[in-house]
Amino acid sequence: MYILALIILIITGLVSLLDILFGISNLGGEGFNLAIRISRLLFVSSALFLLVRKDKSSKKKD
């Protein structure tokens, strides 16, 4: 589960970075903008998943 979240985080992070640097959301149509928005949502979701899981696992060890 962690590996899948990490892969999603890396891929969607790269897409978000490309959008910030080069403005790729302005190049495509409405479907392309939707894909960028979904990528941002997946990035935030996977980052939150990793942070919450890491916090829970560190509390169990104490």
Question: Mean of the pLDDT values across residues 6-24?
Answer: 89
Instruction: Give pLDDT, residue 42.
Output: 93
Average per-residue pLDDT for the chain: 85
Q: Which residues contact 49 (CB under 8 A, 6 or more apart)?
A: 5
pTM of the model: 0.76
Is residue 46 classed exposed, middle or buried when 0-12, 13-18 and 19+ CB atoms within 10 A define those classes?
Answer: buried
Instruction: Give pLDDT, residue 61.
Output: 60
With beta carbons less than 8 A apart as the criterion, state whether 16 and 44 touch: no
Question: Mean of the pLDDT values across residues 26-33?
Answer: 84
Segment 31-61, tens digit of pLDDT: 888 988 999 999 999 999 988 887 777 766 6
With beta carbons less than 8 A apart as the criterion, state whether 12 and 42 touch: yes
CA R_g for the chain: 15
